[in-house]
Chains A and B, each alone.
Chain A
Amino acid sequence: MLILHLTWSKHLKLLSALAAASIGLAATFGMSAAKAESRPDIVVAVPDLPPTLEPAKELSNIGTRITYDIFDTVIRRDFLSAEDGSGAELTPALAESWAWTDPRTLVLDLRAGVKFHNGETLTAEDVAFTFSAERLSGPESIMANGRGYFGNIESVDATGPLQVTFSLKVADPIFEQRLASWTAWVVNKKDWQANAGDSYPQFPVGTGPFMLDDYKADQSIRLVAFDDYFGGTPKAASVTFVKVPEEAARIAGLVAGDFDIVTTIGPDQIGQINAYDTVEARSVVLSNSHVLVYNTEHPTLADKRIRQAMNLAIDRELLVKALWAGKTVVPLSHQYPEYGALFDPSRDGLVYDPERARALLAEAGYDGAPIHYNTNPNYYVNTVPAAQAIIEMWKAVGLNGKLNLVEDTRGGPEDTLMVRTWSNTTRFPDPAGGLWNLWGPHQSTQRNKEWVPAAFNALGETLDKTPEPAARKEVFHQMLDIWEDEAPGTILYQPLETYGVRKSLKWQPYSHFYLDLRNDNFEDMAVSQ
């Protein structure tokens, strides 16, 4: 053996080299093991958990805050492109690039080597299936919302192993925004079809930074890091969403160190959370507005001057100050800065003018007939105090408001269906995802015949077909004029979503309910330091 022929000094040198190498290897492996172990296990307390993790079905705040970390879209909306977490820039995600070959045809080239949580590699077939008529966009699809977003797809085909081609029925200037928005999360075709049964799988497989590890119905959902994530190894080892329905218990658990993040905190609790050294409240104004819907077909509200008076009588700034500690905002009508070129900052917005309201009521000959205001007391934050204040504001101008606390704001006797509470989420940063989507013919107001506006609808159809921003802006503001003048409802304010967060977590909430724990928005500084 070679070693037998070496001198003692050479023996020593060799042994030293081996020892050094061993120490080096041990240190390397030890460090990587320590690094892996050092990733935190994050616990998030939420008021409720979704019954499934099918991303196109669980579209509420309850579902999207979890599915957002499990699934990816082909194009991604970069919320961090604005400081307040409401950015709307589009960036590559599962698609590396995309191009319109004509106004109705979009071709996407997918990123190579992206893995699903089940080990399968992402192909164009998966993306085509995700948006297919069978799963999402067709009349037979069981996904209730799919057609609302992607009903304009004529066909979606895998035109190469990593190339997908969308053909649209009519040109859609915001189709890329749609691809970065709700219902657009990509699933694994093979897994989905194998587990769909007669409808859809309860836990489809995605490509996101975290994958499902354990699901305890109504109790907890544990996700673990998917280390093959194309966006980099996640900085948390796991994230467990725990159902804690009581707000006080969520806050107590945060302070006690049981939870790292707690969601759905009322604005009145911000001060209390901030009083502790280790935790803090982080708030964001949502891409959502609390709204009142007026039944324009009801005899008492048929005269638009009465509805206009109802709007003019509401002091929204006072509501924001009194109920939201001044932390939320009243938008300039049904338009938001995230609309970019289509936003008009010079618009008057939602005016408070009680004198004008009184004059309009006198002109309309309002006879003091009761105006029933229906709201579910537990659905929207601050809905009851807001309703009570609005009823008083209406009284001040001579309107006879009656508050009804009901479970279903669209149920009850026909003659009381006059005013109901609602909220409007801008699903993608464009009027087509806001005013037109929410007050157009596919939504509840028009379906319930609460408002049937022919001119508004005609303009909305024009908006859909108009690609140039300047022309779109003109059409949109004409629609806004009609909406304000006919007053089928009003916006109250954009609510605030507040989270309680361990101070050492680098994490920012977005203007949507997504709880993004991807690397560019999450780091546990207590571990990193």
Chain B
Amino acid sequence: MSPGFLTLKLLRGLLTLFLAVTFVFVILRLAGDPLRLMLPDDTPPDVIDHYRQLYGLDRPLPEQYLRYLQGLMQGDFGYSFRDRQPALDTVLSRIPATLLLGLTSFVVSTLIGLVAGIVAALRRGSLVDQAVISFSIFGHSMPSFFLGILMILLFAMTWRILPSAGMGSAAHLVMPAITLGVGGAGAIARFTRSSMLEVLNQPYMKTARAKGVPVATRVLRDAVPNAAIPVVTVLGLRMGGLISGTVVVETVFAWPGIGQLLVTAVGQRDLAVVQTIVILVALTMVVANFAVDVAYRWLDPRIAGAGKEAT
């Protein structure tokens, strides 16, 4: 990995973060006065002024922005309007719940998607292939809030074998993780199948087959690594969405993670918390993209070579 490549990626990442922070800062303040949503209708004007001063909302917008950036540089993400706790603490306290849900669904959907995609490609045109394609379309097109409520109706209300909402035991994780994972598994299966079909038709695969290389070796050693690049792209996007992708599912299942916090914070214009979440999400996307770029070069060294020639 060349230092130039790393520097370029780092600079791009920082620029993305800066733009995200700036965009959200401006949009949130243009969208209305947070004190109107925060305080009751009959709040006396001097009390409103007191709060405006307390939160620094009485200062000109550019000054607020510069102060915010200055705070960020010092690790100060501001204070939640809602409970007056440091915004970073509030957000960090939710990460374990979101990661537990996100990573569980990521692992499950990746395993299911990869296996289903590979099997479907190997059995092209068969019933298995048809079933995988159907599952893939179902998973991709089924809205997660609808699937979640369907699952609650079946597993919690009708059969009463799983808790309906909340977090507390492994049983609580089952429905949200499946709901979140179904869409991902469908997408990964579809990409894996297409990519595998392309690779399986390559001359080197035919040669390997003609030489009598066992199926398992042909698939795992020759086909899967060559088919991996498009799949890695999907996985990267899914990894980047680990934090931001759980909003709906967390709300449906009352899962106390970042997604639910974001919904509450946006609804109440809790500026510091929303901004901190956006920074976190942007950071996750930047890291995921970087990881995908690195994975590309590891999987296919020709990419690094092409980069050098181009420069």
| A and B physically associate | yes
Chain B interface residue bracket vs A: 35 or more
User: How far, in whole Å, are A144 and B49 apart by their CA atoms in the complex?
Assistant: 11
Main DSSP-derived SS at the A contact region: loop
User: How far, in whole Å, are A280 and B50 apart by their CA atoms in the complex?
Assistant: 46
Tell me, yes or no, whether A326 is within 8 Å of chain B by CB: no
User: How far, in whole Å, are A59 and B38 apart by their CA atoms in the complex?
Assistant: 12
Residue of B nearest to A143 (CB): B47
Instruction: Check if B256 sits within 8 Å of A216, measured CB to CB.
Output: yes
Residue of B nearest to A48 (CB): B264
User: How far, in whole Å, are A45 and B166 apart by their CA atoms in the complex?
Assistant: 10
Residues of A within 8 Å of B284, CB to CB, are: none
Known interface pairs A48-B264, A243-B254, A246-B252. Does A253 touch B42 (Cβ–Cβ under 8 Å)?
A: no
Instruction: Check if A145 sits within 8 Å of B160, measured CB to CB.
Output: no
Chain A interface residue bracket vs B: 35 or more
Residues of A within 8 Å of B90, CB to CB, are: 217
For residue A423, give the distance in angstroms from its CB to the closest CB of chain B: 9
Known interface pairs A148-B42, A218-B264, A243-B256. Does A249 touch B165 (Cβ–Cβ under 8 Å)?
A: yes
Contact with A along B155-188 (1 / 0, CB 8 A): 0110010011111000000000000000000000
User: How far, in whole Å, are A342 and B31 apart by their CA atoms in the complex?
Assistant: 43
Contact with A along B27-59 (1 / 0, CB 8 A): 000011100110111111111101100000000
Instruction: Check if B254 sits within 8 Å of A249, measured CB to CB.
Output: yes
Instruction: Check if B157 sits within 8 Å of A252, measured CB to CB.
Output: yes
Instruction: Check if B252 sits within 8 Å of A411, measured CB to CB.
Output: no
Contact with B along A63-103 (1 / 0, CB 8 A): 00000000000000000000000000000000000000000
Known interface pairs A217-B83, A242-B166. Does A248 touch B152 (Cβ–Cβ under 8 Å)?
A: yes
For residue B79, give the distance in angstroms from its CB to the closest CB of chain A: 11
For residue B46, give the distance in angstroms from its CB to the closest CB of chain A: 7
Residues of A within 8 Å of B85, CB to CB, are: 217
Instruction: Check if A144 sits within 8 Å of B40, measured CB to CB.
Output: yes
Residues of B within 8 Å of A408, CB to CB, are: 32-33, 36-37
Instruction: Check if B260 sits within 8 Å of A218, measured CB to CB.
Output: yes
Tell me, yes or no, whether A365 is within 8 Å of chain B by CB: no
Instruction: Check if A410 sits within 8 Å of B256, measured CB to CB.
Output: no
Known interface pairs A246-B254, A249-B152. Does A51 touch B82 (Cβ–Cβ under 8 Å)?
A: yes
Residue of B nearest to A442 (CB): B42
Count of chain A to chain B residue pairs whose CB atoms are closer than 8 Å in the complex: 114
Tell me, yes or no, whether A255 is within 8 Å of chain B by CB: yes
User: How far, in whole Å, are A376 and B86 apart by their CA atoms in the complex?
Assistant: 29
Residue of B nearest to A242 (CB): B166
A242 is contacted by which of B37, B41, B42, B254 (Cβ under 8 Å)? B254
User: How far, in whole Å, are A443 and B44 apart by their CA atoms in the complex?
Assistant: 8
Residues of A within 8 Å of B42, CB to CB, are: 145, 148, 437-438, 442-444
Tell me, yes or no, whether A160 is within 8 Å of chain B by CB: no
Residue of B nearest to A149 (CB): B42
For residue B32, give the distance in angstroms from its CB to the closest CB of chain A: 4
Residue of B nearest to A438 (CB): B42
Instruction: Check if A52 sits within 8 Å of B165, measured CB to CB.
Output: no
Residue of A nearest to B149 (CB): A248
Which of A60, A256, A378, A447 gathers most chain B CB within 10 Å? A256
Contact with B along A237-250 (1 / 0, CB 8 A): 00000111110111
Residues of A within 8 Å of B156, CB to CB, are: 252-253, 256, 258
Residue of A nearest to B250 (CB): A245
What 3 A-B pairs have minimum CB-CB distances, sorted nearest first? Answer: A51-B83, A253-B164, A219-B256
Given contacts A252-B153, A411-B32, list 6 more A-B pairs with CB under 8 A: A145-B42, A219-B166, A252-B164, A442-B42, A442-B44, A443-B41
